[in-house]
Amino acid sequence: MARNASLSYILPFAVFIAMLMMNSFVPVPQWARFVVETAVIAGVSLPALQGKPKFPLLSFLVGVGVFLLWIAPDQFIPNYRSLPVFNNALVGRIGAASPQHDPLFLTFRVLNSVVTVPILEELFWRGFLMRWLINRDFTLVRLGTYSPGAFWIVAMLFASEHGSYWDVGLLAGVAYNLWIVRTRNLPDSILAHAVTNACLAAWVIFAGRWQYWI
C-alpha cells in the first residue's frame, strides 16, 4: 500500500528534479515544465490533495513571513550573498542576473513558481519524506507528526535544494515544517508555500531582483 501511495507524493518531485537536471544540458522552456508537471500532478497526485486549507488567513501570513525572511539578509547586509559560504563548489555560485521581458517566459515562470512547485515540493518534503523517515510505511503516520530527526533532516535537505540560498532555504524549511506540525494539513502548507513564491515572483519582477530566479 505504501509503495503505491508513494507515487502520488514522489513522482511529481522526481519529474521536477529531472527537468532541472535536463535544463543543464538542453534548455527546457518554462511552458513545457508547467505542462509536464501539471500533467503528472493531475495524473497521480489528486488523491493526496484532498481537502482545503483549515487556516487560510494564517497560512497566507506564514507565506508572507517566509518571503520576508528570504529577502531580509540581502536587504540589510551589504554584499551578504557574495560571502564564500554562499559561493563555492558545494552550494554553487550566484552569477549575473539579466532582466527578462518575454511575456511567455514570465507567465509560465510565475505559474511554475506559484502553482506547480508548491504542490510538488510539499507533497514530497512534508507529505512524504517527513513521514517516511518516521515509518517506512508512511501511510501509517499522520501528516504533521513531529519527530526531531525527521523534522531537521527534511529542513536541511530542503535547504540544500536551494543552493546558494541554503541559509534562507533552511529557515523556510523550518517554517513550513512547523506549520504542517501545527495544522496537520497539506493544503495549508501548500498555500503558505505558494504565497511565499508569489511574493518572491512579484519582488523579482517589480523590484528587478532577478538574481532570485537564477
Q: Which residue has the cell 518554462?
A: 30
What are the domain boundaries of the chain?
2-213
Name 56's Cβ contacts closer than 8 Å, sequence gap at least 6.
188, 191
pTM for the structure as a whole: 0.95
In this predicted model, what pLDDT tens digit does every residue of 53-71 receive, in sequence order? Answer: 999 999 999 999 999 999 9
Average pLDDT of the segment spanning 21-40 = 94
- Residue 88: helix, strand or coil by DSSP? strand
pLDDT score at 18: 96
pLDDT score at 116: 98
The count of other CB atoms within 10 Å of the CB of residue 45 is: 20
How far is C-alpha 64 from the chain's CA centre?
14
